Copies of this chain bind each other. A is one copy, B any other.
Amino acid sequence: MADMIITNGHILTMEPGKEREFSKGMVVIDEGIITEVREKTQETADIIVDAQGGIVMPGLVNTHTHAAMTLFRGYADDLPLSQWLQQHIWPAEAKLTDNDIYNGTLLACLEMIKSGTTCFNDMYFHMDETAKAVEKAGIRAALSYGMIEFGNKDKADAELKEGSRFVQRWHGKADGRITAMYGPHAPNTCSREFLQRVKDKAREDGVKVHIHVLETETELKEMKEKYGMCSIHMLNNIDFFDSDVIAAHCVWLSDGDIKILAEKGVNISHNPVSNMKLASGIAPVEKLLKSGANVCLGTDGCASNNNLDMFEEMKIAALLQKVSTMDPTALPAKEVLKMATVNGAKALGINAGMIRKGALADIIIVDRNKAHMRPFYDAASHLVYSANGQDVMTSIVNGKLLMQDYEVLCMDEMKIIEQASVAAEDLIQRVNE
């Protein structure tokens, strides 16, 4: 007898090269793993989940965010970048406590579970609290302590020590739901020497690296001034890409950069909403995909989005490539759906992002019985262009039901919302003191 069977679903497997879509399918789950995907199973199970004709698909993978920044949702918007950072975000971040990070991350986990994200990739600080929130929420996450040293040697030692401590403490914890990584902030906030040390340490520890790269033209200019070359070339020169890298943003890329990223197997997390909202620029996603690079999707933090809805991110990613290349066939629905599932899972090194035997049971069910989801011709089109996160009925992570038929089972929803609201209020009071 299995743990769970999902019945009556419209299945979208997303299995690379063998994508299948079929109505009235069943998915069997046992011990956190998908054990069967077929039209009808002979298996029985403790829990039967009726998908009610909804789309049964891999959970979405958010490959770049800062979960606790939910506390800054709507705190400051529509400002010049330097003013936004220096007068609002940084002063508020300086006052963040462990308690804030824990409550802010739980709010983020709640929002992600409700909107169909089953795994997220986070870089921030007070990361023990982020990990504790992930442990409690039941979601899957890749976590890294964000290291910044600006070339200061003492700071470098301390940052690497904290990054390493976090990796040792959390990698593989929470029933394997937590993956730890190293998180050097960016090529223009970390020195070349430090980035080299991080790369070596990550390889030694067998973990991945999560870094911001070329989010802004400012970074590009700074790098050219300092090193006579852009971030990608500098990182390549120090063999940084010999470690397994998730590079967020990658907006300001030359064709030569794209070639390097593809050749070195760097995973690129595209964050269109944040790039648009902060006016950072438009990443050349079509070119990256054509080059063979693994491109996935991320929401970035709530201060620059201002939500964690990966469905919205998918739609805007597709729209932005179409209008920026002036080609309506650019980044079609099926491709952006891959970015948000199988490509994301690949980037984070988890056996998920698809519905197939042997994969992790990270699965969501999307409602089809709503006005904006009808009529129904093509699942990928509806998921990308019509749906949003509030169409997710059911979320399963590691074979556990975190939400079923819109009811959150893994935490007390209103309590989490209230706790985070109180934490934010206290925080802003401290900032304004």
**A residues lining the B interface (CB < 8 Å):** 70-71, 73-75, 77-81, 84, 107, 110-111, 114-115, 273, 275-282, 302, 305-309, 312, 315-316, 318-320, 322-323, 325-330, 332-333, 369-372, 374-378, 381-382, 385-386, 388-391, 413-414, 416-417, 420-421, 424-425, 428
Q: Which of B80, B277, B375 contacts A319 (CB 8 A)?
A: B277
Q: Which of B77, B281, B327, B413 contacts A323 (CB 8 A)?
A: B281
A126 to B282, CA, bound (A): 42
- List 13 A-B pairs, Cβ < 8 Å: A74-B386, A78-B318, A114-B371, A275-B323, A279-B325, A279-B330, A312-B315, A316-B319, A371-B417, A374-B417, A375-B424, A377-B428, A388-B389
Q: Does the CB pair B421–A374 fall under 8 Å?
A: yes
Q: Which of B328, B414, B424 contacts A84 (CB 8 A)?
A: B328
Q: Does the CB pair A282–B316 fall under 8 Å?
A: no
A123 to B277, CA, bound (A): 32
Question: Shortest beta-carbon distance, A196 to chain B, in Å?
Answer: 33
* A333 proximity list for chain B (CB < 8 A): 77-78
Given the interface pairs A333-B78, A374-B417, A377-B75, the reply to whether A385 lies near B307 with Cβ below 8 Å is: yes
What secondary structure prevails in chain A residues at the interface with B?
helix
Question: Shortest beta-carbon distance, A10 to chain B, in Å?
Answer: 13
* A77 proximity list for chain B (CB < 8 A): 332-333, 378, 381, 385
Q: Does the CB pair B276–A320 fall under 8 Å?
A: yes
A420 to B371, CA, bound (A): 9
* A81 proximity list for chain B (CB < 8 A): 328
A385 to B107, CA, bound (A): 17
